[in-house]
């Protein structure tokens, strides 16, 4: 697994190559910078890949996704309208850790159930990114809560998303 410094260098090189692209998708990449890389884990908590934000002003206008070896998997825009920076998110993770905690505080836990720290994961394929909070009950992993800007869902801890049903 490459480290965050290496991920940032690779992402900067990739972003620099797109700054003057004629593709309207990358209009906002002019004068943008690469922000701090975020390590994305699999649902079990193992490091999987890097997500590097491309930031202009205080908005995430795009991203570079890198494999654990540093190869570029994909890149793109997070903006609904690439001509309007205000349609871009403020966090490459969709919502802040504080927002995750607030949403988790609204969840009713069972007596004795304790929520752990949020972890940024991909739930299923690469790109299906969300925050995961694992709860523990009676000393064992109990539930996984998945929290994003789009909402919250849960399933028993350790159960994998059935992609065949989609």
pLDDT of residue 129: 97
User: Which of 69, 70, 17, 65 has its CA nearest to residue 40?
Assistant: 65
- Which secondary structure element, helix H or strand E, spans residue 99, and what is its range? helix 97-105
The answer to whether position 101 is within a domain reads yes
- Decide which of 64, 87, 110 is a domain's last residue: 87
* pLDDT band, very low/low/confident/very high, at 24 (cuts 50, 70, 90): confident
14 and 83 together in one domain? yes
Give the domain range for residue 154.
97-165
In this predicted structure, the answer to whether residue 166 has a pLDDT above a threshold of 60 is: no
18 and 73 together in one domain? yes
157 and 105 together in one domain? yes
115 and 65 together in one domain? no
Alpha-carbon distances of 12 from 32, 36, 72, 153, 161, rounded to whole Å: 10, 11, 11, 34, 33
Q: What pTM was computed for the model?
A: 0.92
Pseudo-torsion of CA 51, 57, 59, 62, nearest 10°? -50
38 and 61 together in one domain? yes
The answer to whether position 111 is within a domain reads yes
24 and 68 together in one domain? yes
Q: What three-state secondary structure class fits 101?
A: helix
Taking the C-alpha atoms of residue 130 and residue 162, their distance in angstroms, rounded to an integer, is: 16
The answer to whether position 63 is within a domain reads yes
The answer to whether position 92 is within a domain reads no
Taking the C-alpha atoms of residue 53 and residue 121, their distance in angstroms, rounded to an integer, is: 16
pLDDT, tens only, 25-74 = 778 888 899 999 999 999 999 999 999 999 999 999 999 999 999 999 99
- Decide which of 58, 87, 116 is a domain's last residue: 87
- Decide which of 87, 113, 133 is a domain's last residue: 87
pLDDT of residue 163: 58
The answer to whether position 130 is within a domain reads yes
The answer to whether position 158 is within a domain reads yes
């Amino acid at each position: 697994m490459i480290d965050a410094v290496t991920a940032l260098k690779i992402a900067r090189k990739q972003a620099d190559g797109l700054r003057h692209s004629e593709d309207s998708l990358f209009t906002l990449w002019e004068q943008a910078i690469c922000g701090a890389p975020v390590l994305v884990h699999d649902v079990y908590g193992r490091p999987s890949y890097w997500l590097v934000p491309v930031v202009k002003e205080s908005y995430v206008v795009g991203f570079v996704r890198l494999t654990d070896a540093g190869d570029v998997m994909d890149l793109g825009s997070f903006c609904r309208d690439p001509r309007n920076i205000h349609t871009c998110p403020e966090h490459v993770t969709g919502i802040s850790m504080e927002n995750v905690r607030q949403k988790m505080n609204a969840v009713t836990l069972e007596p004795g159930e304790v929520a752990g720290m949020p972890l940024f994961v991909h739930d299923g394929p690469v790109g299906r990114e969300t925050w995961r909070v694992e709860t523990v009950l009676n000393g064992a992993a109990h539930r996984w809560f998945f929290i994003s800007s789009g909402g919250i869902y849960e399933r028993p801890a350790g159960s994998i998303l059935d992609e065949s049903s989609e």
